Chains A and B, each alone.
Chain A
């Protein structure tokens, strides 16, 4: 695994300084705590978790938009924050991101041509306007904006949400990336449009052999897009379970993953009405400013072991091959 890894996170944590309350002083808020992760070349890793648990922060750390507070992020074995200029430039080109909101990810003052040609010119992939036009048309075609001639000179506001998201995807492809972070790339889109974007991503992955970190709060989408890959479940800035998608979905180990799967409303009346949700001890999600000691899930977990779960932080255990879980119920198994 290690030598195949394209991205590795090595005990990464990230804190932000925030003001608490109106008169409160500045506080350090740990958003990501001691995260270690390795993503193999050509793999799809789905990062799932609820809003605010740190998925986007993880994505931004990986594409180098923010620096970790501690720990290292390795791209093809090299720490990105101690790379020389040359190496960092290569990394920048190789690792791209697709944002959640197609309405804020495209600059409203530029036409699609300008949006897509700027990186091409900057990195010397094209030399003049006609080469750029040809390349842009080709990119638009690749993301199914056909006929591409209809789109190239439009402004973002003249496109629908789904079409904008396709442009954003095309932009992420301009520099022939090796790794793409798709941060909730479909969750702002309409139900009827989501699936076609997912299919597009899947096709690009196969055609261009791109590795994906697919961030989503929607387990069903993770299952659909990442069936052949792995799922990592995040809760309050930590990964609590990670393993091959079919096993995490069909045989979840962590109480939080189980609670999610038992609670998730589904678009099938018979399935969804027969669910018996797990009885949690509390409905409140702890604040990141005030995390409970021990396992972060312990105030809500029905299986908590008093004296252990509220005192110590569980390690990652591997009760099954390649299927890891951070919960004391699996210690020594």
Chain B
């Protein structure tokens, strides 16, 4: 394939397909904006840390487009600077759960027998332990000094449901006639897993990754709000927690302070979920344009 063709297949066609599904397109645009805002925005909008007692709880104005907080700091700058860590932790955690889930799920389905039984037993056990309380307890014991640590813990606890789903996907693909044909042609186990089964699950895996990310956002923010993860820095979760503990709900003027991070989180989650809907089309070769 010429490089132009590759560019077309990887970048142009997916865009064409996304643009066909209205909701998916809106999700995509929002997601892109939030990512830009959180990763590029901080270079332009510095986090406002200066306490200005004369500007407490101001309503949105030209100067502070989302108003100010309980110490007169600009809320918008906090939103812009508070997304990066949340998203990175979510992405890492999602990646870790997905990796574990794909490996264990497909191994379990493909090997069958005793291996399957053992893996599924472990999965069931982790699945029956209530996630959030466990996280809370863990957080209390392990000193979570940085975001990566948090991502690992959330990721390690988040894979079982996905592993089960992957297992059943692999089981169903394993029954397809083309897998049988590959077995009869003696193409080998590695070829069957990596060349016949996994490519068919790519869309499912990417969608699962995004879903795992959204799950990780909730776990993370939840832990921070409860004050169980005292990691420093600045993020949306911390904003909510601060707003909450400073009794923001008692002041009428604080509405923007508490709502802004919540809306940011909800928008991020919503656009990620909506966007995944149009992913199906990108991975399905039948829907690809121009063929």
Contact = CB atoms under 8 A, between A and B. Distances in A.
B185 A108 contact: no
A119 B178 contact: no
A122 B286 CA distance: 28
Contacts of A274: none
B184 interface: yes
Nearest to A172: B181
Interface in B218-232: none
Contact of A106 (B178, B188, B191, B291): B178
B285 A65 contact: no
Contacts of B182: 118
Contact of A109 (B183, B185, B188, B200): B200
B200 A107 contact: yes
Given A109-B200, A109-B285, A155-B291, A99 B180 contact: yes
A97 interface: yes
Interface residues of A, number: 32
B289 to A, nearest CB: 13
Interface in B170-197: 176-178, 180-188, 191, 195-196
A17 B187 CA distance: 28
Interface in B244-291: 285-286, 291
Interface string A177-193: 00000000000000000
Contacts of A308: none
A110 B194 CA distance: 12
Nearest to B284: A108
A174 to B, nearest CB: 7
Contacts of A107: 176, 178, 196, 199-200
A104 interface: yes
B176 A118 contact: no
A101 to B, nearest CB: 6
A157 B177 CA distance: 15
Given A107-B200, A118-B191, A101 B177 contact: yes
Contacts of B196: 107
A97 B181 contact: yes
B30 to A, nearest CB: 30
A101 B195 CA distance: 21
A124 B124 CA distance: 44
6 contacts: A63-B184, A92-B185, A95-B184, A107-B176, A122-B191, A175-B185
Interface of B: 176-178, 180-188, 191, 195-196, 199-200, 285-286, 291
Q: Which 9 A-B pairs give the minimum distances between C-beta atoms?
A: A105-B177, A99-B177, A109-B199, A119-B185, A92-B186, A107-B178, A104-B177, A157-B286, A104-B176
